[in-house]
Amino acid sequence: MKTPDIVAEKVDSPINYKILAGIILAAICFQLTLTFVFSFDESDLIISIVSLLNPLAVAIIGFFLAYRYKGSLIFGKSYLFLSLGFFSLFVAEVTYSVYDLILEIEPYPSIADIFFFAYIPLLIAHLIINIRFFQPSIKNLTKIGIIAVPIMITVAYGILSINEIGEANFDFYYGIIFVAATSVALTLTILGTRIFKEGALGKSWWILLFGVLALTFADDWYYYLEIIESYDLTHPVNILWYAGYWIIAYALLKHKKII
């Protein structure tokens, strides 16, 4: 039998901004080390390994939380969706690496993209479940914003991309699908950060969504960089990915200590 999800109004679980600052600083230092200390091939190998470990670590912690919440009506399901999303990213990274490093085949586009995309609806499901629980009634103005913001981001991406490449080719349509989906996730994440401020788990969710915000913003930025062929291993967008994963891992560990 499922048990109702009850969240206390206040719990002494303050946000440790020093840890967040330390994570961001570590991501910056890691990127600088890869850029100036290691050779291109060494950096490529290190990034490949870290790209596998980051989503896997988050997925494992998330599955543990989903198991701890398995008897609940809301949280068990929401964390299962989140964990499956990050596990999908792990599978995508493995597939990408197999194409790139072992088979020596161009990994874009490939089967890996199916798993990269699968992360987005799973993340959206996690966000919607929690938003509906914490704020069942959403104002009409907010609903308009949820619809308008992804449209504006997608249209802006489309205009900028067409201006750069001059035609609506495969990369354009491929990128716009991902941008449209990640923009929905980005908008819901921003809404979530406004809602999850108080309560027993509010602060840990706020931190988690801050990490998700970094990841989704980085994804949108990356798709544009790919269109204009400006992405490389030294680009600052990588810092957002590293920091995003590590902040999410910290949030999940903080959440684990609360329950």
Domain boundaries, the chain: 17-258
* Per-residue confidence (pLDDT) for residue 200, from 0 to 100: 54
Contacts of 207-210 with C-beta under 8 Å, sequence gap 24+, read 207/15, 207/20, 207/247, 207/250, 207/251, 207/254, 208/247, 208/248, 208/251, 208/252, 208/255, 210/20, 210/247, 210/251
Contact status, residue 6 vs residue 73, Cβ threshold 8 Å: no
**What b-and-e string marks burial along 216-225, b requiring 16 or more CB atoms within 10 Å of the CB?**
bbbbbbbbbb
* Per-residue confidence (pLDDT) for residue 255, from 0 to 100: 79
Residues (pLDDT < 50) of the chain are: 8-12
CA distances from 124 to 79, 181, 197, 245 (A): 12, 9, 19, 17
Contact status, residue 165 vs residue 227, Cβ threshold 8 Å: yes
Total residue count of the chain as it appears in this document: 259
The model's pTM: 0.90
Q: Which residues contact 105 (CB under 8 A, 6 or more apart)?
A: 99
Q: How far is CA 50 from the centre of its chain?
A: 15
- Give the integer Cα–Cα distance in Å for 222 and 209: 19
* Per-residue confidence (pLDDT) for residue 9, from 0 to 100: 46
* Per-residue confidence (pLDDT) for residue 257, from 0 to 100: 65
